[in-house]
Amino acid sequence: MTVAANEDIRKELENDHNVKTIALDCNGYPRGELMSKKKFISSLVSGFGLSRALYGKDTADMGYPSDSPEKNSASDVIMKPDTASLYRLSWEDGIPTLFLDAYDPLTYNYMPLCPRGLLKKTEKRFTSQLNATAISGCELEFQQFNETAHSLAAKDGAGLSGLHPSSLWSCVMRQNLNKEFYYGVVNACRKTGVELECWKVESGPSVLEGVIGCNNVLKLADDASMFKIICKSVGAENGIIPCFMAKPQNSAPGNSSHFHISIVSNNTGENLFARESPDPDPEWPEISHLSDFGRHFLAGILDGLTDVMPLLAPNINSYKRLHEKYYAPISINWGVEHRMASVRVICPPTTSSKNTRLEIRVPGADAVAHYALSAIMALGQRGVEKKIPLTIRPMKGDETSLSPEFKRLPKTLFEATVKFSEKGSIARELFGDEFVDLYARTRFHEVEKWNESVTNWDVNRYMEAV
């Protein structure tokens, strides 16, 4: 941290007494503590210790396998606040809140599973090698339920009461049914420092969509994480549980997290996906407005998509969303303005050249934004550097993903994690063995817990019949 940044944060906190700090674990769950301003200021240079258990807990707050190097232990990791990540939580009297980065106390490298650390490393490599900056926005869908933590536990997750009984896409009157929550989120985002670009009722019962404004990838990922915190905090005040599961209900659309990305040259400020003039002889007319850089970036994403799926769809439930019936991608494909594709290309003539971008439609709302953007950027960079050709044809018109010529995405977390962790995988090439081995163990742990579980589905289907 520079001396100037240190002085700036001291000045910002001049009238504060306490600071809240947040570290994201490998499931994107915000963990941290409230500390005195004195302790916070003392941590700016050297950081402070926090239990290594931060990366040893699963989504149920149980420990990961005993062979994991991140298993709960007596040793601490070093946490350093990122002063550029300052937010003020309006529903907590404007308390200053910052994200933390986790460092290994022996090597002082980022802890392997630290989501912000992975994205910072990926962004640094991307910027230095391509002399360009990635800009991203996010469309985040989620459902709301008239429940509390206690009622959710009492009902064992079944028979939950949604905010709305049916789907009314973009209905403005639905916004008034729970306006304390609806406008509470809007006001909290504005006061806290998250740009909520658009906020509306989406398709599906009780579904809302928040569009997080475009920014550099780290700020966007932080904003997406803070948006979830805002929704859950404002929801709790109104007897509402916002649900960011990828697929909360049968026979209804799932919740997605669509990431838009464009790349800007650090020399000229131009969008590197755009062409100055249409290609007179493209392999397909759909890419006539997409630059060679953009084609390689797109090809890189498609080439490595199956290898990084656990970073885009990290949970058992994630794969229940990936069903074509509900406008979710199921195959490796792309198309211009095609909402059934894994990657939607947005370019002229439907938008201006400067707004040319890719929309990655695979991630669900349960994806950790920092991991997902790391995967997208790294795959795109690999495509550009290796000049990977675009060999997959575009999807046409009302064509679906069921065509046998499109390779199928993994259907389960187990299948995805096997591909992710296999020897020589693209994930290992991009992120190294240490990260892949550690993260794969956490995903195989989820699979094992699922395999051990007896659910209502099992009982209802088999108890009387067999």
Q: Which two tokens stand for residue 268?
A: 């000229």
For 33-80, the pLDDT digits (tens) are: 999 999 999 999 899 999 988 898 999 888 887 555 454 455 899 999
Output the pLDDT for position 159.
Answer: 86
Q: Could you give all domains of the chain from N- to C-terminal order, each with its CATH number?
A: 3-111 (3.10.20.70), 129-461 (3.30.590.10)
pLDDT band at 454 (very low <50, low <70, confident <90, very high): very high
Average pLDDT in the 322-344 region?
A: 91
| Euclidean distance between CA atoms 84 and 314, whole angstroms | 28
Output the pLDDT for position 168.
Answer: 64
pLDDT band at 364 (very low <50, low <70, confident <90, very high): very high
Average pLDDT in the 105-132 region?
A: 97
For 247-288, the pLDDT digits (tens) are: 998 878 899 999 999 999 999 999 999 998 999 999 999 999
Output the pLDDT for position 73.
Answer: 55
Residue among 150, 173, 169, 168 nearest 160 (CA) = 150
Given a cut of 80, whether residue 148 has pLDDT beyond it is yes
pLDDT band at 3 (very low <50, low <70, confident <90, very high): low
